[in-house]
Amino acid sequence: MFDLLFENIERKIEITEEDKAFCKTLFIPKKLRKKQYLLQAGDIAEYVAFVNKGLLRSYSVDEKGEEHIIQFAPEDWWITDMNSFLTCEEAIYNIDALEDTEILLLDKPSQDKLFEHIPKFERYFRILIQASFVAMHKRLLSTITNTAEEKYMRMLKTYPDLVQRVPQHMIASFLGIKPETISRIRKKQASNS
Amino acid sequence: MKKTIAVIGAGGAMGSALSKSLAASGHHILLMDKDSEKCHKTYDSILSELPNADIEILNCIHEGSWEADVIIPAVAYEVQREIADYIKDVVTGKIVISLINPMNEDKSKLLTSPLSSAAEELQNYLPYSKVVKAFNTISPSDFKNISNADCFIAGDDEIAVATVSSLAKDSGMMPQLAGNLSASRTLEGMILILIQSCRKNNISESGCFKILIPKT
């Protein structure tokens, strides 16, 4: 249940068996079924979630009822509504499961406890947030400068597995383009190759 | 938000009554009982009264507890430890509601030492869970008949106590905060008074408590 999380942590910091045992007293093991919510917009994000198995997504819904996907989180990824988690303001995103999913949850009091007992975890989460910050800026730049085709090709290159795993209309929602556009790009790719 | 609640022993009188009550407030209830026939009976009985109830039967209590946000072992005191050991690794950080009254066979005294309680023992078996005592002073037969019954709630984790209070309130009861988990010693003893009173009046086990506060 904890193997993947510890592998993820150990890629960034060194932890002892004792540290691992302590982690096991803090993380909440939870299963979600396909389509089940982890968080609904308007609630407070109580947890950061590490995906051990399955796939989650965060998204917002606009006035017309259209979904805009912010992030996909397959195995080995973290997900939350960071603003809500840090500030206790209402979440603006929904997070739900696209597949049956196993997650490990960490709430704020437990995260504080973790930082207090094992300060190097601050370094771990700092590295995560840095990486997320960089990725977010790349995504922002791509969103405002790239053509639909460039965006799709970038997605295909960066997250090839996700493109296979997630329905096309969700990829379109994530990229901010129309599903028909992806069909067109795919057709063009097929005829080019 | 809607909670997923695992009821272990959903076929018993208490498990069944509580499952129905919680299902009525719209939560997702996972019914589990080693007696599958009894579990199905609870399932059918809930659906006949509440056709839209979000309930289902699960066969594995480990799986059910893993999926749940709140776990309620509605089982005999004697098997509490066995159940706790079985679900221990999937209930870290979660609320576990203790509604067990650890009585002897003729229900005349408690089996726990005066310096402990079934709830505190459960907390020892599950040190990383948030054990909350609740619902144990209300007879299962009265869950749906008595509205505004006092539901005494004891626990060491403030947020967990608040969550269980709102579950009680959703079920039409009046949550009464009884203190830390050690207050369970008193709460578990209260059922003896209720049973004694029923026996004296020659009625079947029923009833609940109500605190009366004088008008000022």
Which CATH number is A97's domain given? 2.60.120.10
d(CA B55, CA B18): 13
Question: Residue B64 — very low, low, confident or very high, per pLDDT cuts 50/70/90?
Answer: very high
| Structural domain contains residue B215 | no
Same domain, A100 and A191: no
d(CA B36, CA B61): 13
Residues of chain B with pLDDT > 90: what percent?
Answer: 85
A27:B66 CB<8 A: no
A30:B66 CB<8 A: yes
| Structural domain contains residue B141 | yes
The answer to whether B118 touches B184, Cβ cutoff 8 Å, is yes
Same domain, A155 and A90: no
User: How many domains does chain A divide into?
Assistant: 2
Same domain, A91 and A185: no
Preferred mutation among B95, B128, B156, B163 to probe A, highest tally of A CBs within 10 A = B128
Q: What is the pLDDT of residue B171?
A: 86
B93:A28 CB<8 A: yes
Q: Residues B106-133: what's their mean pLDDT?
A: 96
Same domain, A20 and A99: yes
d(CA A99, CA B91): 22
CATH of the domain at B186: 3.40.50.720
Using a CB-CB cut-off of 8 Å, the residues of chain A touching B129 are none
Task: Give Cα A69 to chain centroid, integer Å.
Answer: 10
Same domain, A172 and A134: no
| Structural domain contains residue B14 | yes
CA distance A147 to chain B (A): 40
Q: What is the pLDDT of residue B216?
A: 75
A21 touches chain B (CB under 8 A): no
Same domain, A46 and A127: yes
CA distance A32 to chain B (A): 7
The answer to whether B20 touches B45, Cβ cutoff 8 Å, is yes
Same domain, A28 and A77: yes
B89:A105 CB<8 A: no
d(CA A151, CA A59): 18
The answer to whether B147 touches B110, Cβ cutoff 8 Å, is no
A26:B69 CB<8 A: no
**Regions of chain A short of the pLDDT cut 50:** none
Preferred mutation among A28, A34, A52, A96 to probe B, highest tally of B CBs within 10 A = A28
Judged by DSSP in three states, B202 sits in coil
Same domain, A193 and A109: no
Q: What is the pLDDT of residue A191?
A: 85
d(CA A142, CA A120): 33
The answer to whether A106 touches A28, Cβ cutoff 8 Å, is yes
Using a CB-CB cut-off of 8 Å, the residues of chain A touching B127 are 25
Q: Residues B89-109: what's their mean pLDDT?
A: 95
Same domain, A131 and A171: no
Q: Residues B126-150: what's their mean pLDDT?
A: 88
Among candidate residues B206, B213, B212, B215, the one with its CA nearest the CA of residue B14: B206
Q: Residues B1-7: what's their mean pLDDT?
A: 92
Q: What is the DSSP string of A112-165?
A: HHHHHH-THHHHHHHHHHHHHHHHHHHHHHHHHHS-HHHHHHHHHHH-HHHHHH
For residue B86, pLDDT beyond 90:
yes
Residue type, A86: L
Q: Which domain holds residue B93?
A: 4-200
B92:A28 CB<8 A: yes
| Structural domain contains residue B149 | yes
Name the helix (H) or strand (E) containing B63. helix B61-67
B67:A30 CB<8 A: yes
| Structural domain contains residue B34 | yes
CA distance A160 to chain B (A): 30
Average pLDDT, chain B: 94
Q: Residues B2-19: what's their mean pLDDT?
A: 94
CA distance A154 to chain B (A): 36
For residue A39, count other CB atoms closer than 10 A to its CB.
24
B67 touches chain A (CB under 8 A): yes
Q: What is the pLDDT of residue B208?
A: 85
Same domain, A174 and A85: no
Task: State the Cα angle at B71 between B143 and B130, rounded to 5°.
Answer: 110
A-B CB pairs within 8 A amount to: 31
B89 touches chain A (CB under 8 A): yes
For residue B140, pLDDT beyond 90:
no
- Residue of B1, B90, B127 with shortest CB distance to A29: B90
Q: Which domain holds residue A153?
A: 146-193
Q: Provide the phi-psi class of B107: left if phi over 0, else alpha when psi is between -120 and 50, else beta.
A: left
C-alpha separations of B111 from A114, B73, B200, B209 in Å: 38, 18, 22, 22
Using a CB-CB cut-off of 8 Å, the residues of chain B touching A37 are 1
Same domain, A37 and A130: yes
User: How many domains does chain B divide into?
Assistant: 1
The ipTM assigned to this model is: 0.88
Q: What is the pLDDT of residue A109?
A: 94
For residue B104, pLDDT beyond 90:
yes
Q: Residues B183-200: what's their mean pLDDT?
A: 94
Task: State the Cα angle at A37 between B151 and A2, rounded to 5°.
Answer: 90
Q: What is the pLDDT of residue A104?
A: 98
d(CA B41, CA A187): 55
Q: Residues B125-132: what's their mean pLDDT?
A: 98
Where does a domain end: A125, A145, A165? Answer: A145
Preferred mutation among B1, B27, B156 to probe A, highest tally of A CBs within 10 A = B1
The answer to whether B8 touches B15, Cβ cutoff 8 Å, is yes
Q: What is the pLDDT of residue A186?
A: 87
Q: What is the pLDDT of residue A193?
A: 72
Using a CB-CB cut-off of 8 Å, the residues of chain A touching B128 are 25-26
For residue B143, pLDDT beyond 80:
no
| Structural domain contains residue B210 | no
